[in-house]
Amino acid sequence: MDTYTGKSIFKGIAIGKILFYQKGEQAVTRVKIQDAQAEIKRYEDATQQAIEQLNALYEKAVKEVGEVNAAVFEVHAMMLEDDDYMDSIRNMIETQQVNAEFAVATTGDNFSKMFADMEDEYFSARAADVKDISERVVNILSGKESGGSIGDEPVIIVADDLAPSETVQMDKDKLLAFVTRYGSSNSHTAILARTMNIPALIGVEISEEWNGKLAVVDGYTGSLYIEPNEETLAAMTAKQEEDRKARELLQKLKGKEDVTTDGRKIRLYANIGGVKDVANVLANDAAGIGLFRSEFLYLESEDYPNEEAQFQAYKTVAENMAGKKVVVRTLDIGADKQVDYFDLGHEENPALGYRAIRICLTRTEIFKTQLRALLRASAYGDIAIMYPMIISVKEVQQAKALVEEIKQELDEKGIAYGNVEQGIMIETPAAVMISEELAKEVDFFSIGTNDLTQYTLAIDRQNMKLDTFYDAHHPAVLRMIQMTIENGHKHGCWVGICGELGADMTLTKTFIEMGIDELSVSPSFVLPIRKIIREM
């Protein structure tokens, strides 16, 4: 028996044979062509076919892993139509008289290297995306199917790395676990693994010789056992059975209240990115939606989504939640979420730049369109509006003034709207330090622990080199959370947490003891956290 360790992405036990997954990349030969226009037509036809494949993958992914996680395939389709990328390929075919396969592969390599060399973590991560879309087009041009076939037997997939498209194309019923050499806990594939409830390890020194061998993946300890001995196999089988029983017990918590043993009620809500994610919220019995990331309506659109499109999305979610609270975060574009048509321009440090409420308060027509849609939709359910990246009282007052202006417009037109709560994200040290003043202006606070940790510790949360320094449990972060709760309660604000830390079950008891009113987490964490609450 050989034992290896890696970083766990999703907890769970998987036992089965290994399939060493190879992308099957082929060397692309440079071929001299005679008719450049005919070759460009071949390339354009292949691109169209690739876009159709990606659209089909998007539909498949939406059903299996939700709208937010499927969005990567829409991004890939848009990347295929990027002017710079397409011009480079066409120019290479015309000027060098080379075949389309060679032009696409070379351009893909060039653009991938360009992204990889960028210091910004978000843009450097796009290198893998460019490689993925280029390989897809080359495969179509070569008459080769894109990856995804893993056979009929359930297997543990071992690979150097996996593109999101490869992950989604695999038969979900045949996937026991993922083990990769590369990747990060924030990669698209890691997110998909968590959403699909599949144990996964990254950073493992893999070997092709493992193909076909029996293995065990322990997502709790980050261990991989190759050809486990009888004692280890028996222990892991028992652990897997305990895991299964624990998940079954959690299902019995559906319909139960989120109340501590001493009678304190906690609002246990869920985070979503789009309309289709509501099914997951209801399936996991969340009491409401604590974070509707409305920016995905913009990320998934080729132009600014109009008022009617936004209204329909918010209305549908409100109606489906049948009176349960739906907290919609207003547009949070910028930093790692870039949209071409916003034309935000290059920034040396986008995480500290032109983003979120700063865009909304300087491009008020965009903001007012969203606010009108939200107010109209509030007539169909309990919608609350939440403003992100707040650092001053003035910003809150400006946003509230726009809401009042829109209410007057709706009143004049006889258009109904509900009694909408307004709140803010607490995700900057500045907001924490003036939280007592901010609490006088709003109905609630929601603590965005991802950015709050990043800004408090001065650590880029997307920079893998800083993983060992990033400590979400840092005393400074916890003290800021405590201060926010206390100051919010002084002025009647309810206070929640909607960042990743809200799902950290080692801190659930701490947060409740601090006085937190609400926790909003990924839908799959609702029942495990309910169990902790009810046992306190």
Which residues are identified as catalytic? 188, 498
Alpha-carbon distance of 271 to 288, in angstroms, equals: 9
The C-alpha angle with vertex 339 and arms to 396 and 451, in degrees rounded to 5, equals 50
Q: Which amino acid is at 327?
A: V
Paired tokens of 384: 């609350």
Paired tokens of 20: 């060493």
Q: First-to-last CA distance in the chain? A: 41
Paired tokens of 428: 């900057």
Alpha-carbon distance of 470 to 387, in angstroms, equals: 26
From residue 361, alpha-carbon distances to 5, 354, 394, 400 in Å are 48, 11, 11, 11
Alpha-carbon distance of 512 to 491, in angstroms, equals: 19
> Residue 94 — φ and ψ, nearest 5°?
-70, -50
Helix residue ranges per DSSP H, 216-363: 230-251, 278-283, 295-299, 307-320, 357-360
Alpha-carbon distance of 69 to 76, in angstroms, equals: 13
β-pair partners for 521 = 270
| Residue located via tokens 């937010």 | 68
- Stretch (H or E) spanning 528: helix 526-535
